[in-house]
Chain A
Amino acid sequence: MPEKYHIETRPIPPRRPRVGKYGIVDWREDCCRCHNCVKKACIYDRHREETNYIRNLTDVDALFFDCMGCFSCVQDCAKGLLSLSLNPVYENLGNAYWTPEIIRTTWLQAETAKIPVSGAGYKGRFSGPGFDAMWTDMSEIVRPTRDGIHGREYISTSVDIGRKPAFLHFEQGELARPIPALVDLPMPLLIDMMPDQYRLSRLEPAMIKTARKTDLIALVDYRSLPKLARSQLRHVAFYLDQGVKMPDADMLRQTRLVEIADGPDVAERIDAVKQIHPEIVAVVRVALTSDGVERAVKLAEGEVEAIHVVADLQGNEVGAERPRFIKDMIRKIHRDLIENSRRDEVTLIAGGGIALAEHTAKAVICGADLVSINLPLLIGLECHLCRRCEPGGSCPAKLEQVELDYCVGRMTNLIAAWHGQLIEVMGAMGMREIRRLRGDVGRAMFFEDLEEQTFGKLFTSGS
């Protein structure tokens, strides 16, 4: 059995006051100062914490909102002076796609590195747009063992980036062509560059260090390259935008992966990179605009060995009036590649809109080999996604002041929590290798299909 992939983590508490969902409104007038005050009985001790918080308050931009919402004090107060309220800051977190729930769970995972567990049943909507319109399958009685979750077996989450030829060429018993280089990642995750509006100078070194700690690879724009140690280069992939000159040959030879922006001269640029470093795997970055899907499929017909398709931050087709969602675009690309008999010749990396650990598994089921993420790592640093990032701005997470260790710790924790969750869903599916999950839509159930097969059949006229 190969050595297990394990990420070292430790709890990294938040720097800023927690932004919880609930706050307690304390109407102190008429308090009878009874000896059995419900505030003392709070099993989470939140009232005492709030008092301490206010006593030591130095910054008045954040109130105490860390109540668990159990209503116990509200319902037991002798004078009925307490009530609960929703935290308006919590409600305004993120946007329609990056919901407050997503942001809060990301914060918790970045803090604890644990899989979020809760009691009671599922509290959300029945289904929803995008990735919420699919469920992953599980195996019941009659499928092979699935003991990986508790460690008795190994569930592999490692993936390869690069070309996997359908067969090998031999001449006189010797390999006629060299086996293409492969980059092996222990998890189907590529750390992508931050979008322009969130690109803060302190983040890149942290992302690179996180990549090293988690044995992943971070994409770094070669134009704004931070100072890099030689030992870090193995976990860095240079991104070469159009018109950017070839990287320093010495540095390039230390890397395993390079990403090149799609353009008319992409084939020549790949050749140029390979001239310097023949063992490098070159990825072509394709924006999922209206012709992005077709472009990705077309690129695969050539000599391109890996394609990174990127939707917008919400996972939508870029610039389209009625955009397709990334899950549907991945499925289309995957199917087209199969029809063209090119699927194993090319690695498909999908980015944009990957917000939760479950999206990784779902994107892989839809046909991606791996996904790329950026915003979740930023949110892990307590970002509110409020876009008040300009220097000297009123960033509630004070991201301009973050320290490297804090950033690396929180990002590492988040990736570890995602890995744990990936193991959970794969374990439930009875899958022991994520490579085998790619495109296996039989391991998922889609909302539209189930609705049609169940209710459509029952309730459509004439049935």
Chain B
Amino acid sequence: MANCLHLDPSELETLLPENTLKTRVPQYECDRQVRPAPSRFRNEISKYILLRNENCIHCGKCMTVCQHKVHVTYSGYKLFPKGRYHQCIGPSCAKTDHYCVDLCPQRALQIAENPMIKCLGDFRWPADMILATWIMAQTGEVPSADYGYDYECGDSGGGFDRLRFQFPDNPPADIEGEVDTTLELNRRDDGRPRITIDVPWYGGGMSFGSVSNTTQLAKARAAVAWNTFTCTGEGGYMERLRPYDDHVITQVATGLFGVREETIQRVPIVEFKYAQGAKPGLGGHLLGDKNTVSVARMREAVLGISLFSPFPFHSVYSIEDHMKHIDWIKHVNRRALISTKVSTPTDVDMVAVGSYYAGTHIVHIDGGYGGTGAAPDIAKKNIAMPIEYAIPKVHGFLEAEGVRDAVTLIASGGIRNPYDVAKAIALGADGVVIGTAELVALGCVRCSRCESGRGCPRSIATTDPELAPKMDLEWAQQRIINLYHAWRQELIRILRRLGLRSVGELRGRTDLLMHLDFPPDKTEDIQ
């Protein structure tokens, strides 16, 4: 099994505290093989629908010609039931020799865009991007171009959605061998373990309470499979996560829910969460309805009351105080790397550099357009800058300070697909953290009701005893494993088209990008 810690077991023993060694449980193992994980819902949402008129004589020709198995019939039934429309590639099929609409002898078929698709998605996550993410989670591959899913950009009209890669006219000679997508997280050379993850992203902090137990475990298992990390969020370290200790980042947030020395000692990375991008400066907030029996027990709180994680740390009012915190964690866990998660105020660059000097290994900047379980709408829209501005600002400042190669810069808050990953890295990040994309892979439709009443109607972000069990753990882990596979494959394709051999070579290569509002002289290379 892949191990992100470059340590043999004997070294681990010297580093792990005695009580951790005593209580350490066997670690979960999981392969990263892609397996089909079709939707758990009976009726999939499709981009196209097939209309069949009364001229149909039920000859079955459409069934025989369709390569995508859209048309179905059941023995004993005369009429065609509703087909598998989500597998239909739509009008682009017309250029093939198996287009049912043209081949129907009665001209009884017609393909139209599903009118319901207008109800799905939003400017950040248009319907095409959600549907494409579902296909990736189902198959482990990005959808073929035939589907016509425009999933590489959203419709927000700015940031990543106005950035494009400038792929060369003539792709460079084939890159031989494997393209390296690994990411090293400890660049400080401070005697602490080197930790390398196999993909340049890890899972964002989602606490038990904001999401279900199944969601948390599925994320953890996918992290094991892909030799990367997941994060506990600030809701405490569930005992159920112990078999995944080596792939867990535990969060020390302002509420200090469930933070104990023993939980800090279990993990290879400890994250200080100062702020989160969706509600910068406002702390965390778990609404009373979601403080269910199990959550209240985990957080040692009273059932049903709203739980606030105040802002800021009341023991931190300067970088020196921050350093004191980091020293505390480093003392408690001698092998831990420290990540500092901050949002994106105008002085985010100063904060990042200060955090580096305080001893952090990973600076994690969380932009304003990311997701969260509950945030005031006014904060999500208005407070702090989008991540697309913050990445080059921090990257440039760290470079100017001469410390860029001694710290890992992680970006999050609006990373929706492999193109966003590549763009964030090209702007100057080393890697990214993803959250919403994982939830979409599990069937999230972004209805924004995570926070209310019993929580998520899709069984993802809820701890309601009736709703949460509706999602199967094995299915969920496979969906995320498949998603990671599709993203990595697409990222490799992007790197190959750019003539790069590793994701590290892409960092800061803004020359490979262009912005539609600042067009270069030559625009014909735009993807």
Q: Which residues of chain A have a CB within 8 Å of any CB of chain B?
A: 22, 43-44, 68-72, 74-78, 80, 83-86, 105, 115-127, 135-142, 144-147, 149-150, 356-358, 362, 421, 424-425, 427-430, 442, 445, 447, 450-451, 453-456, 458-461
Contact = CB atoms under 8 A, between A and B. Distances in A.
A429 B375 CA distance: 16
B379 A424 contact: yes
A79 B346 CA distance: 53
Interface of B: 39, 41-45, 82, 115-116, 118-120, 122-125, 155-159, 161-162, 274-275, 278-283, 285, 287, 308, 310-312, 314, 316-319, 321-322, 342-343, 345-348, 351, 354-355, 368-386, 388-389, 392-393, 413-414, 436, 444-454, 456-458, 461, 467, 510, 513-515, 517-518, 520-521
A121 B45 contact: no
A140 B342 contact: yes
B373 A119 contact: yes
List the 5 closest A-B pairs by CB distance, nearest first.
A119-B450, A126-B158, A428-B281, A121-B371, A75-B41
Contacts of B162: 126
Nearest to A87: B119
A429 B310 CA distance: 14
Contacts of B351: 140-142
Given A76-B42, A122-B380, A136-B383, A141 B316 contact: yes
Contacts of A453: 389
B520 A117 contact: no
B382 A425 contact: yes
Nearest to A142: B318
A460 B377 contact: no
A68 B345 contact: no
A140 B371 contact: no
Contacts of B521: 461
Contacts of A135: 368, 382-386
Nearest to B313: A141
A356 B346 CA distance: 23
Contact of A105 (B377, B457, B514): B377
A125 B380 contact: no
Given A77-B42, A137-B345, A424-B378, A71 B280 contact: no
B372 A455 contact: no
B212 to A, nearest CB: 13
Given A120-B448, A136-B382, A454-B388, A80 B82 contact: yes
Contacts of B348: 140
Given A125-B158, A138-B280, A428-B282, A145 B317 contact: yes
Given A75-B44, A122-B381, A123-B448, A146 B157 contact: no
Nearest to B277: A121
Nearest to A356: B378
Contacts of B39: 75
A460 B510 CA distance: 12
A145 B321 CA distance: 14
A59 to B, nearest CB: 26
A72 B318 CA distance: 48
A455 B515 contact: yes
Contacts of B280: 138, 428
A425 B383 contact: yes
Nearest to B378: A421
Contact of A70 (B376, B393, B445): B445
A344 B308 CA distance: 39
A430 B311 CA distance: 10
12 contacts: A84-B119, A85-B119, A117-B375, A118-B377, A121-B380, A122-B369, A122-B380, A123-B123, A135-B368, A140-B345, A141-B312, A141-B321
Given A424-B282, A428-B280, A118 B157 contact: no
Nearest to B350: A142
A241 to B, nearest CB: 35
Contacts of B378: 115-116, 356-358, 421, 424-425
A379 to B, nearest CB: 16
Contacts of A122: 124, 278, 368-369, 380-381
A358 B380 CA distance: 11
Nearest to B369: A122
Contacts of B383: 135-138, 425, 428
A138 B499 CA distance: 40
Contacts of A22: 119
B445 A71 contact: yes
A118 B375 contact: yes
A356 B283 CA distance: 23
Given A105-B377, A121-B413, A459-B513, 15 more contacts: A75-B42, A115-B378, A121-B369, A122-B124, A123-B446, A125-B156, A125-B158, A137-B345, A139-B345, A141-B274, A141-B322, A428-B282, A450-B385, A450-B389, A459-B510
Contacts of B354: 141-142
A186 B322 CA distance: 36
A332 to B, nearest CB: 22
B468 to A, nearest CB: 12
Given A116-B376, A149-B282, A451-B517, A70 B457 contact: yes
A115 B378 CA distance: 8
A126 B310 contact: no
A421 B373 CA distance: 18
Contacts of A44: 453, 457
B372 A119 contact: yes
Contacts of B392: 454, 458
B281 A119 contact: no
Contacts of A455: 515, 517-518
B310 A84 contact: no
Contacts of B355: 141
Nearest to B459: A72
A140 B274 contact: yes
Contacts of B517: 451, 455
Contacts of A429: 281
A139 B281 contact: yes
Contacts of A124: 122-124, 156, 381
A72 B386 CA distance: 32
Contacts of A430: 281
B393 A454 contact: yes
B328 to A, nearest CB: 16
Given A124-B381, A358-B382, A428-B281, A119 B451 contact: yes
A223 B380 CA distance: 44
B125 A123 contact: yes
Given A72-B457, A72-B458, A141-B312, A117 B287 contact: yes
A451 B348 CA distance: 16
Given A22-B119, A117-B451, A140-B348, A146 B312 contact: yes
B157 A125 contact: yes
A404 B348 CA distance: 49
A140 B347 contact: yes
A72 B445 CA distance: 10
Given A71-B445, A123-B446, A428-B281, A76 B43 contact: yes
A356 B369 CA distance: 19
A394 B299 CA distance: 54
B308 A85 contact: no
Of the listed residues A117, A122, A150, the one surrounded by the most CB atoms of chain B closer than 10 A to its CB is A122
B371 A454 contact: no
A78 B385 contact: no
Contact of A121 (B42, B124, B308): B124
Contacts of B520: 459, 461
B377 A85 contact: no
Contacts of B377: 105, 115-118
B278 to A, nearest CB: 6
B45 A75 contact: yes
B116 A74 contact: yes
Contact of B346 (A70, A117, A118, A445): A445
B342 A141 contact: yes
Contact of A427 (B41, B282, B457, B510): B282
Of the listed residues B159, B287, B383, the one surrounded by the most CB atoms of chain A closer than 10 A to its CB is B383
A141 B41 contact: no
